[in-house]
Chain A
Amino acid sequence: MAEFFDTITGILGLLTWTQLCFLIIGVAAGVIVGALPGVGPLLGVVMAIPFTFYMDPISSMALLMGIYQGGSYGGALSATIIGIPGTPMAAATLLDGHPMALGGRASFAVTLSTIASSFGGVLSGIVLIAVAPALASIAIKFGPSEVAAFAFLGLTTIGALSGGSAAKGWLMGFLGLLIASVGLDPVSGASRFTFGSVYLGSGISLIPLLVGLFSISEILRQIERPMRVHDTSSNVSASMEAFRTVITRPINYIRSSLMGVFIGILPGIGGVTASFLSYRAAMVFKKKGDPKFGKGNPDGVISSEAANSAVAGGALIPMLAMSIPGDPIVAVLMGGLMIQGIQPGATMFLNYPDVIDGIFAVFVLGALFILPIGLFFVRIIVVLMRLPQWAIMSVVLMISVIGTYTVAREIMDLWMLLFFGVAGYLLRKADYPLSPIVVGFVLGPIFENNFRRTGLVSQGDIVGYVADRPITLAVLVVIVLFLAFPLFNALKRKKTNIPI
């Protein structure tokens, strides 16, 4: 407990000025990319990854986590002002935020969502600081079979809860594992799927994969189906009335933030579910005299924004403590740490305590920075939202291509980028989710090493060995439940005659 308070009180002194600057740049950039429909925090983090190659680990995390936090909030701006959520997480904010804006209260709605996002982030940061080290101290005792089982759990939950068809999610997760297996075999050194290429011998790099799958495929998709240009004529500024409203509703903030953290911890569920569940909870506890939900109720905006910002802290807990990314953006953040030569997981708390403290500091301060950036620069952000889509996408293309090349100054990276871009575009066309590929790719080496170590330790009798490991068994039971979940859902739908 004393350690927890030391971390909280010493948080300001943990970062250098350079790291603080990267955090501010990250949050500001995140708010902008989050507010731009068609870009979003995932693409923002992916575009920034190549630039972090040249930074120290904490600066790198400051930039990437700033974009993540700012982007989670930025979606609320476009949802409120133009009625189109910049991110799917902001869809619940739109329900009450946009009616407020239409009624001439855009400033009130934006200020409410800014305060809610900031508060949700800070609260989830505190939970992150309290829970992650405790979880890591348990996880450090795990053997290879437990680690492999947890990695596999991360993969199955992403598949089971990826929104559309679970089988498609799993297939993409396994595709990620397969891509991660290209290169030299980590145990025997045998060459796998390299076609004799020296470039492929060192494995597929994370950056061309990420940027290709998310950035290039999105650009190709928008070339095929351009987005509408939106009117952003609303005049927005900070509202004092919103501050007064906030003070009278602390329970909603705390309840929604805690729901967000809890949902964030569960891999694969993410911010959309969190914001809609807390919105639903706010409906249950509706205050008398407030407008109806969907007609500009302040609790609707508060619950949705507090929850979706709090998801970030929750999602970081399993990633830092157990190497399980809670959502696709956290999988990319995990990749960002791996680029720095740091393997997230329980051992990170022993080997890189300074980076862990830096990440905690970055997270809490990032949530606090949302408040001034969101309130005082909102006018600039609204102006940027007027930029034409062609200008945004062509600049995104340029940053993606050049950023990818400069990491290794290797022209083959550009060809890989193009390959994954076209593959991502075709997979999107066939309605396959792309995020599980990244989760599979970052979990691949962890899963493979521990799975094969389990095979070696068990000397061939893997079933007998696992039967003696209660934690592994318990995780395997959870995995079976997750695999059965979509099947139960399908049977239930069939009984009620809902088309699958």
Chain B
Amino acid sequence: MTLRQREITGAIAIMVIVSFYLHLTTQIDLAFSSELETIAGPRAYPRIILVIMGALCVLLLIQSWFAQPKETSEETGEKSLVSVVLAILMLCIFASAFEPVGYIFTVPPLVFAAALLNRARNWKSAALTALISTACLLIIFRYGLNIVLPEGLLGIDWIF
């Protein structure tokens, strides 16, 4: 996808979101508002923002359509795209597991996987970085800032 195509796709996507949110403004409850539909009311402000955003999207679409194609060296390879999708998946798994499984068991795999996705050449260095950085951050939070991190499966108080 070229930069111009991405710009057009971006503007259309934002326009869809703007339309959806514009529809949502009709559901804003006016029951407690004495100003109802005036400029000081709860619906008017987000509507003004959304209408301006919509107008700007149209302007961007026109600009992108008529502008000379800018070229880009930034073509995303299939392999890179897979890495990005894997990174997002990894973060989703982390967010789901962090509290139930705990800091100790979730952070080192996260750092290790992030290092590999960032093209670490040596898996041993990546593993060592993961372990050391996890330990350092734990010490900073626990003893420096006095913040308890999720214990999860471990659940042993004296370690934290």
Contacts and interface: CB of A to CB of B under 8 A. Distances in A.
Q: Do A and B come from one complex?
A: yes
Interface of A: 51, 54, 165, 167-168, 170-171, 174-175, 177-178, 181, 185, 187-193, 216, 219-220, 222-226, 388-391, 393-395, 397-399, 401-402, 405-406, 411, 414-415, 418, 421-422, 425-427, 429-432, 448, 451-453, 455-456, 460, 462, 499-500
A174 B56 contact: yes
A171 B30 contact: no
Given A224-B80, A402-B107, A188 B41 contact: yes
Contact of A452 (B40, B125, B137, B141): B40
Contacts of A394: 111-112, 114-115, 118, 120, 126, 129-130, 133
Contacts of B159: none
Most chain B beta-carbon contacts within 10 A, residue among A51, A171, A216, A462:
A171
B87 A415 contact: no
Contact-residue size bin, chain B (C-beta under 8 Å from the other chain): 35 or more
A425 B84 CA distance: 10
Contacts of A499: 67-68
A418 B95 contact: yes
Given A189-B32, A402-B141, A432-B10, A226 B46 contact: no
Given A191-B29, A224-B84, A500-B63, 13 more contacts: A174-B52, A190-B33, A220-B88, A224-B81, A390-B114, A391-B120, A394-B126, A395-B129, A395-B133, A402-B103, A418-B91, A426-B10, A431-B7
Interface string B80-97: 110110011001101100
Given A418-B92, A452-B39, A167 B63 contact: yes
Given A171-B14, A192-B28, A500 B67 contact: yes
A190 B149 CA distance: 35
Q: Which 8 A-B pairs have the closest CB atoms?
A: A430-B10, A455-B40, A390-B118, A188-B33, A394-B114, A455-B39, A185-B42, A390-B120
Contacts of A425: 84
B21 A397 contact: no
A188 B92 contact: no
Contacts of B118: 219, 222-223, 226, 389-390, 393-394
Contacts of A397: 110-111, 114
A223 B83 contact: yes
A225 B74 CA distance: 9
Contacts of B41: 188
A490 to B, nearest CB: 9
B47 to A, nearest CB: 10
Contacts of B134: 398
A499 B76 CA distance: 26
A170 B99 CA distance: 39
Contacts of A390: 114-115, 118-120, 126
B60 A168 contact: yes
Most chain B beta-carbon contacts within 10 A, residue among A226, A394, A425:
A394
Contact of B46 (A187, A192, A216): A192
A456 B33 CA distance: 12
B76 A224 contact: yes
A223 B80 contact: yes
B153 interface: no
Interface string B1-14: 00100110111001
B24 interface: yes
A402 B80 contact: no
B80 A225 contact: yes
10 contacts: A168-B60, A174-B49, A181-B49, A188-B33, A192-B25, A193-B21, A223-B83, A398-B133, A430-B11, A455-B40
A223 B119 CA distance: 8
Nearest to B3: A431
B65 interface: no
Contacts of A193: 21, 24, 46
Contacts of A54: 145-147
Contact of A178 (B6, B53, B147): B53
A181 B42 CA distance: 10
Nearest to A181: B46
B30 to A, nearest CB: 7
B98 interface: yes
A190 B49 contact: no
A430 B95 contact: no
